[in-house]
Structure 1
Amino acid sequence: MADNIKSLSFEDALSELEKIVRGLEGGQLKLEEAIASYERGAALRQHCETKLSEAEARVQAIVQKADGSLDLKPMD
């Protein structure tokens, strides 16, 4: 389950997470389906948070040089 989540783009994971939330809010799922959906949703949320953190780190690594051009700051 988690393996195929790791291959999702941020946008695809977020879209799937939104569908899961709508399904859970609808209250039409059987208990086992709701639990499985909740578990997948939690994994998708974590994946999205990881992707956002990675993107934030990349953006923060871009620095403006004295001449106004942009450069990448080495990440630790």
Structure 2
Amino acid sequence: MSNQEATPSFEQAMDQLERIVAQLESGDIPLEKAIELFQEGMKLSQLCGQKLEQVERKIEILLEEEGGLSKKPFQPQETDKGDNR
């Protein structure tokens, strides 16, 4: 990620993270490369978390602006937690 000038979008970061996880799970890489990939994956994971928090705050602001709706913290439903059906 350090060789890129622009911050990747959420989707780009997730794609990169998925590729890194696949490489690490394969077990066919030297330890030094695995450590580099792990560090890059952690940075991407942190970036994705920050982007999700920003979106959550924007949604809360929009809800507050719409007719004075009360602000409620986002709580995903059970079906939203990684269920890709």
Q: TM-score, normalised by structure 1?
A: 0.77
- Runs of 4+ in structure 1 over 2 Å off: 1-6
Matches within 5 A, 1:11-50: 11-50=11-50
Instruction: Kindly provide the CA deviation profile for residues 25-64 of structure 1, in whole angstroms up to 9, marking residues without a partner as x.
Output: 0101101100000000000000000000001100111122
Aligned equivalents of 2:5, 2:35: Cα separation in 1: 17
Could you tell me how far 1:65 is from its partner in structure 2?
Answer: 1.0
More strand per residue: 1
CA contact 1:6–1:47 (8 Å) conserved in 2:
no
- More displaced, 26-35 or 2-11? 2-11
Look at both structures and tell me which one has the larger radius of gyration over its CA atoms: 1
CA shift for structure 1 position 6: 6.0
One-letter amino acid matched to 1:14: M
Unaligned segments of structure 2, at least 5 residues:
69-85
Aligned residues with identical type, % of pairs? 35
Cα RMSD between the aligned structures? 1.9
Aligned pair in 2 of structure 1 residues 33, 3: CA closer, same or farther (>3 Å)?
closer
Q: Can you give the 5+ residue segments of structure 1 that lack an aligned partner in the other structure?
A: 67-76
Aligned match of 1:65 in 46, 64, 67?
67
Following superposition, the deviation at residue 5 of structure 1 comes to: 7.9
TM-score (norm 2): 0.70
Aligned equivalents of 1:49, 1:4: Cα separation in 2: 19
